Amino acid sequence: MTLAEKILAAHSDKKSLSPGDFINVRPDLILSNDITAPIAIKEFRKLGVKKVLDPGKIVMVPDHFVPNKDIASAEQAKMLREFAQEQGIIYFECGQMGIEHVLLHEQGLALPGDVIIGADSHTCTYGALGAFATGMGSTDIATAMATGEIWMKVPPTMRFVYHGKPGKWVGGKDLILYTIGRIGVDGALYAAMEFTGEAIDNLSMDGRFTMSNMAIEAGGKAGMFRADGKTLEYVSTRAKRPYTVHELGPESECASVTEYDISKLEPQVAAPHLPSNVKPVSALSGVKIDQVVIGSCTNGRLEDLRLAASVIKGHKVAPYVRCIVIPGSQQVYLDAMAEGIVETFIRSGCAFSTPTCGPCLGGHMGILAAGERAVSTTNRNFVGRMGSPKSEVYLANPAVAAASAVLGRIANPDEV
Amino acid sequence: MLKGKVFKYGSNVDTDAIIPARYLNVSEPSELAKHCMEDIDLEFVRKVNHGDILVATTNFGCGSSREHAPIAIKAAGVSAVVAKSFARIFFRNAINIGLPLLESPETVDNTDAGDILEISLETGIISNVTKGKIFKAKPYPKFMSDIISSGGLVEYTKKKIAGRAP
């Protein structure tokens, strides 16, 4: 069995299973946020049960429109707060909260071998830990909160092998953008993507979270890494409960194997309006921009901020360009302060915000006007994603984003 | 039997196009319906009639997990969506809330905007009344048929909790 199959089998009543099987799975963590939880709570009430089955496995994080951007979003956040108090579930108030997919593994709540379901498509982020993590809808979450179970179709595994040593400015974001560019936004539809190869062995945990995060942008159900020494080092000081590392043969069977040599890869940029519309940064240099966003569940971790700060240090954001930097969690914020990164950004003329999903989904804190163009370290560049349906978003890594902020156009970090 | 006029779209219609995130500070179906498809088809909400049918090519509903997307489509009056393929989370959400989805590449290739379609959910037969052609959608797995025939995942789960589920 593949990693995905082993984890799913261990959370079901099956000893072995195959792609296409319908199974009932008992997840370790059931997640929702201030957009998806209100519907989940309403549907939960319809089920006729008073209490969630296991409050210790349920997490609600108000992160999308929080700090509340308007009265309606404040009402939604209030629903989460009241439900969390009533049910005794795990909840992070504004001030402790971070972007859910930066926060949960940082807090040791998401662990290797887990099945994690979330009413948020980027729940696949936790695959970086060697977990099976997947996004679903609010009604799914409502029934899982009540019963402790969820139905799943076992996905086929598509293995992606990355060879070679990446260039100076190439990281997890570039590997995943390159992959989505090659296979398309439905290239891994319904499948569990598994990332391996020596380039992956050398990739940091933060880089792995970035890759797993964007598996959904290829249609994937999960984006998984095998837990290794780096994973165990990451979780050893954080884990709040036991976890499982599944033993796997080097060549466990899978539906497909795709190999890439990334040694000559340039930083990659996804042009509007699909994450698969990927080009090397040099093909887009010269595209003038109005805004840069550095943050999100894709690239809002400490390593991302360090990388962007290293490029922008000693420079100023270009005239008439805004650069908005959003740490993914309070811990990332504190660490960035301790390292002097926050000051670097502010002295360079960036706006530095409290954690929020904010502009990534066109929520608040950096909405684009008609005709405006942004370079963003986020995950989607659909029509209207960051504001006006007449605006444009280019997806890139944090170094490219920082370089673009300095030069006021899409730029390779070497140009700064 | 479902019957309605076709609104046709291309590939990769994402959930931000179906219901932009700026409207997700509420979850009332009638409010969401007012902005359905707004960023790619400003006329849709004005033109759609109860029972009408969306037809699209591949990967319909890609992107975010927002259940608001099938809710907005259903509340706008749409009776079913026919596509060559659906994004995974959107597919779950639609089944869970009782918005019928049908996978039928032949229907998509042989249907134009404004055509009238008739759909039998029992048999999966899709009839293009305008063009006089008949197609068959890919059948649902039994497990999903049970959810659909229960009236959605909440009703299915209520039965399961009561110990009556298959």
Q: Encode pLDDT of A141-166 as tens digits.
A: 999 999 999 999 999 999 999 999 99
Do A173 and A41 lie in one domain? The reply is yes
Nearest to A72 among B21, B25, B93 (CB): B25
Secondary structure in 3-state letters for A194-236 = EEECHHHHCCCHHHHHHHHHHHHHHCCCEEECCCCHHHHHHHH
Q: Please give the average per-residue pLDDT across A230-251, as a whole number.
A: 92
Residue A135 in tokens = 């996004």
Do A279 and A240 lie in one domain? The reply is no
Question: Quick check: bond before A389 cis, omega within 30?
Answer: no
Which of A83, A186, A221, A365 has the highest number of chain B CBs within 10 A, making it the mutation to test binding with B?
Answer: A186
What percent of chain A clears pLDDT 70, i.e. is strictly above it?
100
Q: Encode pLDDT of A351-360 as tens digits.
A: 999 999 999 9
Q: Please give the average per-residue pLDDT across B159-166, as a whole number.
A: 72
Q: Does B74 touch chain A (CB under 8 A)?
A: no
pLDDT of residue A249 exceeding 80, the answer is no
Cβ contacts from A onto B, under 8 A: 140
Do A380 and B14 count as a contact with CB atoms less than 8 A apart?
yes
Do A273 and A233 lie in one domain? The reply is no
Domain end: A215, A242, A260, which one? A260
pLDDT of A84 reads: 98
Do A119 and B154 count as a contact with CB atoms less than 8 A apart?
no
Do A278 and A251 lie in one domain? The reply is no
pLDDT of residue A280 exceeding 90, the answer is yes
What percent of chain A clears pLDDT 90, i.e. is strictly above it?
98
Do A219 and B59 count as a contact with CB atoms less than 8 A apart?
yes
Do A163 and A229 lie in one domain? The reply is yes
Residue with tokens 């079901």: A12
Give phi and psi for A244, each to the nearest 5.
Answer: -125, 130
What's the domain range around A354? 268-415
Domain end: A216, A233, A260, which one? A260
The CATH number assigned to the domain holding A227 equals 3.30.499.10
Do A20 and A94 lie in one domain? The reply is yes
What percent of chain B clears pLDDT 90, i.e. is strictly above it?
87
ipTM above 0.90, yes or no: yes
Q: Does B47 touch chain A (CB under 8 A)?
A: no
Domain end: A219, A242, A260, which one? A260
Question: Please, which pLDDT band fits residue B98 given cuts at 50, 70 and 90?
Answer: very high
Do A125 and A242 lie in one domain? The reply is yes
Do A393 and A329 lie in one domain? The reply is yes
Do A75 and A184 lie in one domain? The reply is yes
Kind and range of the H or E run holding A78: helix A71-87
pLDDT of A195 reads: 98
Question: Please, which pLDDT band fits residue B93 given cuts at 50, 70 and 90?
Answer: very high
Give phi and psi for B117, each to the nearest 5.
Answer: -110, 145
Looking at the structure of chain A, the number of domains it has is: 2
pLDDT of B164 reads: 56
Cα B145–Cα B149–Cα B150 angle in degrees, nearest 5: 115
Q: Which of residues 137-166 of B touch A (CB under 8 A)?
A: 141, 143, 152-154, 157-158, 160-161
Secondary structure in 3-state letters for A166-198 = CCCCCCHHHHHHHHHHHHCCCCCCCCEEEEECH
Task: Report the alpha-carbon distance of residue B131 to residue A3 in Å, rounded.
Answer: 48
Q: Encode pLDDT of A262-277 as tens digits.
A: 999 999 999 999 999 9
Q: Please give the average per-residue pLDDT across A57-74, as a whole number.
A: 98
Q: Please give the average per-residue pLDDT across B77-104, as a whole number.
A: 97
CB contacts, 8 Å: B153 with chain A = 139-140, 143
pLDDT of residue A214 exceeding 80, the answer is yes
Q: Encode pLDDT of A299-352 as tens digits.
A: 999 999 999 999 999 999 999 999 999 999 999 999 999 999 999 999 999 999
Do A254 and A277 lie in one domain? The reply is no
Bridge partners, A133 (sequence order): A116
Q: Encode pLDDT of B28-80 as tens digits.
A: 999 999 999 999 999 999 999 999 999 999 999 999 999 999 999 999 999 99
Nearest to B67 among A39, A76, A363 (CB): A39
CB contacts, 8 Å: A69 with chain B = 25
pLDDT of B145 reads: 86
Name the amino acid, one letter, at B101: L
Question: Please, which pLDDT band fits residue B163 given cuts at 50, 70 and 90?
Answer: confident
CB contacts, 8 Å: A221 with chain B = 88
pLDDT of residue B165 exceeding 80, the answer is no
Do B20 and A146 count as a contact with CB atoms less than 8 A apart?
no
DSSP designation for B141: P
Q: Find, among A295, A105, A135, the residue nearest to A223 by Cα.
A: A135
Do A29 and A102 lie in one domain? The reply is yes
Torsion A210-A215-A216-A218 (CA) sign: positive
CB contacts, 8 Å: B96 with chain A = 137, 139-140
pLDDT of B142 reads: 86
- Grouping H, G, I as helix, E, B as strand and the rest as coil, residue B56 is strand
Please tell me which residue of chain A has the smallest CA distance to B143.
Answer: A22
pLDDT of B60 reads: 98
Do A83 and A216 lie in one domain? The reply is yes
Q: Encode pLDDT of A35-65 as tens digits.
A: 999 999 999 999 999 999 999 999 999 999 9
Q: Which of residues 98-127 of B touch A (CB under 8 A)?
A: none
pLDDT of A247 reads: 86
Q: Please give the average per-residue pLDDT across A180-197, as a whole number.
A: 97
pLDDT of B149 reads: 85
Calculate the average pLDDT of chain A: 97
Q: Encode pLDDT of A366-401 as tens digits.
A: 999 999 999 999 999 999 999 999 999 999 999 999
pLDDT of residue A251 exceeding 70, the answer is no
- Chain A: nearest CA to B12, how far in angstroms? 8
Q: Which residue intervals of A259-384 are DSSP H helices?
A: 296-299, 302-312, 330-338, 341-347
Question: Please, which pLDDT band fits residue A6 given cuts at 50, 70 and 90?
Answer: very high
pLDDT of residue B166 exceeding 70, the answer is no
